[in-house]
Chain A
Amino acid sequence: MDSIVDSLNNAYQDFVGAAANVLEAKELSGGQKTAATDVALENFKQKWELFRVSCDQAEEFVESVKQRVGSECLVDEATGSVSGRSGQGGMTGLPPISAVRLEQMSKAVRWLVIELQHGSGSAGGAAGHAHPSAPFDARVHSKLATVSGVEDIRSLPYQRMYYYKIFLLVNIGNFWLRLVWHSVHLLVRFWYLGVGVANVIESYLISSGLLKRYRSIDVGKLRYLAIVIESDDACRISKVIQLLQWLQAIGVKHLCLYDTEGKDAGCLVKLRVLKKSKESILAKLKNATLFEVASSICMVMVPLFFTLLPFRLQEADERDSLLDQKHMTLEFASISDGKEAVAKGGNVLFMKYLKLANSGAEQKEQIFTEANMTEALRAAGFGGPEPDLLLVYGPARCHLGFPAWRIRYTEIVHMGPLKSVRYGSLVKAIYKFTTVRQNYGKFLFRVWQSGKNMRTSDPLKKTRR
């Protein structure tokens, strides 16, 4: 391409030079036809032929490039006047030429040449031919303008149409894909709607006691229950209290309420801003006692309600103290009980590590064990028990940063949004836990969720993993 541009450039310069020579010769001869003017004209004709050949070559190249990538990717154009650009007399440098522009230039030059040929045939010579190169260039430009006006109209629609078609195709394709995507999601929503309706019906059947298997639940297996609530939902005090009352009725004794911002049980922020909401909770849960166990844990002791319910609560295996039998412990936790707590536990270990390092003890690396980490967390005030079951009330199944150290083997069940909390769903979740759980070396019972119950017993001792 560079060679073509070079040769075109040189041919053009020679052609313009030859045209200038013709005009000078005519000037010198005073408009008469002399040997000098003949020579000049002959030279002009040769240069014109050469320029035409270069134009043809360039045109062929441009056509081939157009077919491949389109002429519009070329930037800049070489116009007649570049003296202002380079500061030098002639055209220097090889600026890329737009193929469309090139075609226009070649046609403009051809027309001018034809005009000159007609003009040089007349003896008098038009006043226009006596002009110096600047007016000559101006005439080239004017021709160029005429040609380009015609050419632009013809070339633009072709390129524009091509890219417009591609643009349309891509957009139509994207539109249809997006439509299909939305349709798929609509189907998924219908599916979940159907599942929700089925859950509501099942929950009603469980609540009314029609489903026999949910009538007796071995709550003793559920030693510690945790509930994760969306922080926005935590302000729905009535729903939270209703949930707590149901759990109390089922017989859950130890409960942890968690939400990321610490707004548990209705806009609570740990122990610091609790009074207003705590009072309303305590008022609803009769004879509850509030005391502080650690900086991050608020324990509420609530007496068990011995109400007339269609459920039979099994006695706990261990003989609890009188206080524990009559009360439910309630823990509040938030996100600061998670990673930050681990960092604080880490600081406790770091201090011990430092002490051992200073005393030159070889065993300093051995203090980093899981048992020591648990102790360090306890020392830092974050030693809550590991829940057996974690119920998530929110739009998605996610533990939302519940203390990682405590949910190693916790069953995580999604219950849906808090606003649609149902007693039957709660019972079902706890029942499934008590039947699905491995009983630490005894027998394994499995309940398959697809609608048919398949029980297998494995007499081999297993550790839950």
Chain B
Amino acid sequence: MFIICQLTLAILVLDSMDKHRGSRLSELFGSLGSFFRKCMFCILSMGPIPKHFAFIMDGNRRYAKKEKLEEGAGHRAGFSVLMSMLKYCYELGVTYVTIYAFSIENFKRKPDEVQNLMDLILEKIEGLLKEESLVNKYGIRVYFIGNLKLLSKPVRVAAEKVMKATTNNTKCVLLICIAYTSCDEIVQAVHESCKNKLEEIQPCNSHRSFSGRVEEVDGKSIDDDIGHSVQELFGVQTNELRATRASTFCNDVAEGVERTDKKSGVVGHGVHGSCDKWGEVQSLEASGTRDGVIPNVKSEKLLVDLSILKVVDIESHMYMSVAPNPDIVIRSSGETRLSNFLLWQTSNCLLYSPNALWPDMRLWHLVWAVLDFQRNYSYFEKKKKQF
């Protein structure tokens, strides 16, 4: 117990002296701090270590106000703390670290503030490419997560350059969320999934049945069977479709789709499933025919039941699909909300909100988060297995 107290005290004291480097004494304290830090990490390693940390770096402006610094100085102080945190995480053995650098909502701030932030971000992104940077020291692969189209061209180009330069790094991963919100991520994932599904459905042009029959069916110029059925579901009626042709139709569509590529299995199933669903709904109006009769239904509930898009499709198109779900989300400055950050990925994730502002964050906050995680590890593992 005495040893633990001494160790903790040493870490607290030496860690607080991290800020004041420069003199030989500071270097000595730095080395001692590093030694005690490694001892503490050895102790922590006796229990489960989280694989993925996420940070919401809140409180930079309040810190600048509190310390009476000029505008932008708070963010610079926050950056140096970020580097320390990253170093601690990678020394501890954490594989993935995600940071919330800039939200889409932050674009609503004052233009000069946004510009200052972008300049700082550009400067720091370019710093990542240097030889002596943390990225090269620890072999970190960097991803920029978010709607990069919203960024200015220099920042976007620099980000893409860093991603390309670090492609071969395999030890650790750093995910920088920039121009990111969780809702935007979900919408983009749904968009990509829809585009994918459309591409899978549409290249059945080689099948005459796919488009030819549709044109025959009701005399209207409709592109494909799905579109026809969508129009049906949105209220378009037809009495000219023959059930037998429709049932062959649906089978052809399903068959054609299944031939495209390996993903088509899902679509084929979805389409065929849809045909079955239509058959079910149309049972009241069917003239003794089987599946594939286009229903005369306007229910949006049916749309929902078609379930062409699945949860796995959306998840595979998320920006964050390159990393597993986070184990801990740390938001500094004591705020208890997630502010549109990783809402989808944090179902079974520990949320930790220390009161310290981001530039005041220290090693012991990280250690406390890990201890909290270890206390609740079995609970979260049980939850992950359930869902």
A126 within 8 A of B: no
> How far is B375's CA from A340's CA once the two chains are assembled, in angstroms?
30
Interchain CB contact under 8 A, A347 and B303: yes
Interchain CB contact under 8 A, B191 and A347: no
Q: Inside 8 A of B314's CB, which chain A residues have their CB?
A: 339, 342-343, 346
Interchain CB contact under 8 A, A357 and B343: no
B284 within 8 A of A: no
Interchain CB contact under 8 A, A400 and B194: no
What are the 8 tightest A-B residue pairs by CB atom distance, in nearest-first order? A358-B227, A404-B343, A401-B347, A181-B46, A368-B191, A346-B190, A396-B376, A346-B309
**Most chain B beta-carbon contacts within 10 A, residue among A181, A345, A410:** A181
> In B314-365, which residues have CB < 8 Å from any A CB?
314-315, 334, 336-340, 343-344, 346-352, 355
**Chain A window 385-417, contacts with chain B (Cβ cutoff 8 Å), 1 for yes, 0 for no:** 000000000011111110011011111111000
Q: Inside 8 A of B194's CB, which chain A residues have their CB?
A: 346, 349-350, 353, 368
Interchain CB contact under 8 A, B351 and A373: no
> How far is B314's CA from A349's CA once the two chains are assembled, in angstroms?
13
Interchain CB contact under 8 A, A346 and B193: yes
Interchain CB contact under 8 A, B338 and A183: no
Interchain CB contact under 8 A, A411 and B336: yes
> In A394-447, which residues have CB < 8 Å from any B CB?
395-401, 404-405, 407-414
> How far is B182's CA from A339's CA once the two chains are assembled, in angstroms?
13
Please report whether the interface of chain B is mostly helix, strand, loop or mixed according to DSSP.
Answer: helix
> How far is B310's CA from A346's CA once the two chains are assembled, in angstroms?
9
Please report whether the interface of chain A is mostly helix, strand, loop or mixed according to DSSP.
Answer: helix
Q: List the A residue with the shortest CB-CB distance to B191.
A: A368
A167 within 8 A of B: no
Q: List the B residue with the shortest CB-CB distance to A379.
A: B300
Q: List the A residue with the shortest CB-CB distance to B44.
A: A181
**Most chain B beta-carbon contacts within 10 A, residue among A183, A187, A358, A373:** A358
Interchain CB contact under 8 A, B336 and A396: no
Report B373 CB to chain A, min CB distance, Å.
9
> How far is B343's CA from A234's CA once the two chains are assembled, in angstroms?
24
**Contact flag A350-B355 (CB < 8 Å), given A180-B43, A187-B4, A465-B339:** no
**Chain B window 376-387, contacts with chain A (Cβ cutoff 8 Å), 1 for yes, 0 for no:** 100110010011
**Chain A window 434-465, contacts with chain B (Cβ cutoff 8 Å), 1 for yes, 0 for no:** 00000000000000111000000000000101
**Contact flag A183-B4 (CB < 8 Å), given A344-B307, A373-B183:** yes
**Contact flag A408-B307 (CB < 8 Å), given A351-B233, A399-B347:** no
Q: Inside 8 A of A338's CB, which chain B residues have their CB?
A: 347
B231 within 8 A of A: yes
> In A322-376, which residues have CB < 8 Å from any B CB?
335, 338-340, 342-351, 353-355, 357-358, 365, 368-370, 373
**Chain A window 257-286, contacts with chain B (Cβ cutoff 8 Å), 1 for yes, 0 for no:** 000100000000000000000000000000
A384 within 8 A of B: no
Interchain CB contact under 8 A, A343 and B355: no
Q: List the A residue with the shortest CB-CB distance to B108.
A: A463
Report B265 CB to chain A, min CB distance, Å.
18
Interchain CB contact under 8 A, A400 and B383: yes
Q: A184-B371, A350-B194, A358-B224 are in contact. List 8 more A-B contacts (CB 8 A).
A: A177-B42, A187-B1, A188-B375, A358-B222, A379-B300, A380-B300, A398-B349, A408-B181
> How far is B166's CA from A71's CA once the two chains are assembled, in angstroms?
43
A185 within 8 A of B: yes
A312 within 8 A of B: no
Q: Inside 8 A of A184's CB, which chain B residues have their CB?
A: 4, 43, 371
B257 within 8 A of A: no
> Which single member of B187, B349, B376 contacts A370 (CB below 8 Å)?
B187
Interchain CB contact under 8 A, A342 and B186: yes
**Contact flag A180-B4 (CB < 8 Å), given A348-B300, A401-B347:** yes
B25 within 8 A of A: no
> How far is B201's CA from A463's CA once the two chains are assembled, in angstroms?
43
Q: Inside 8 A of A344's CB, which chain B residues have their CB?
A: 304, 307
Q: List the A residue with the shortest CB-CB distance to B374.
A: A185
Interchain CB contact under 8 A, A343 and B376: no
Number of interface residues of A (CB under 8 A): 61
Interchain CB contact under 8 A, A412 and B337: yes
> How far is B187's CA from A350's CA once the two chains are assembled, in angstroms?
12
Q: List the A residue with the shortest CB-CB distance to B379.
A: A395
> In B148-204, which residues have CB < 8 Å from any A CB?
181-184, 186-188, 190-191, 193-194, 197-198, 201-202
B306 within 8 A of A: yes
**Contact flag A407-B43 (CB < 8 Å), given A357-B198, A373-B183:** no
Report A146 CB to chain B, min CB distance, Å.
50
Interchain CB contact under 8 A, A350 and B309: yes
Q: Inside 8 A of A399's CB, which chain B residues have their CB?
A: 346-347, 351
**Chain A window 157-190, contacts with chain B (Cβ cutoff 8 Å), 1 for yes, 0 for no:** 0000000000000000010011011011101110
Q: Inside 8 A of A349's CB, which chain B residues have their CB?
A: 190, 194
Interchain CB contact under 8 A, B47 and A181: yes
Report B53 CB to chain A, min CB distance, Å.
15
Q: Inside 8 A of B386's CB, which chain A residues have their CB?
A: 260
B293 within 8 A of A: no
Interchain CB contact under 8 A, B227 and A348: no
Q: List the A residue with the shortest CB-CB distance to B371.
A: A188
> How far is B227's CA from A347's CA once the two chains are assembled, in angstroms?
14
User: 30 interchain pairs (CB within 8 A)?
Assistant: A174-B46, A181-B43, A181-B44, A183-B4, A260-B387, A342-B311, A346-B309, A347-B307, A347-B308, A348-B300, A350-B309, A357-B227, A358-B230, A358-B231, A365-B191, A368-B187, A373-B183, A396-B380, A397-B350, A397-B352, A400-B347, A404-B186, A405-B343, A408-B182, A409-B340, A412-B336, A412-B338, A412-B351, A448-B355, A465-B105
A381 within 8 A of B: yes
> How far is B230's CA from A290's CA once the two chains are assembled, in angstroms?
35
Q: List the A residue with the shortest CB-CB distance to B103.
A: A465
Q: List the B residue with the shortest CB-CB distance to A437.
A: B337
**Contact flag A408-B193 (CB < 8 Å), given A354-B198, A401-B348:** no
Report A241 CB to chain B, min CB distance, Å.
25
Report B70 CB to chain A, min CB distance, Å.
18
> How far is B1's CA from A353's CA once the two chains are assembled, in angstroms?
64
B234 within 8 A of A: yes
Q: Inside 8 A of A414's CB, which chain B residues have their CB?
A: 351
Q: Inside 8 A of A373's CB, which chain B residues have their CB?
A: 183, 186-187, 190
Interchain CB contact under 8 A, A354 and B230: yes
> In B189-235, which residues have CB < 8 Å from any A CB?
190-191, 193-194, 197-198, 201-202, 222-224, 226-227, 230-231, 233-234
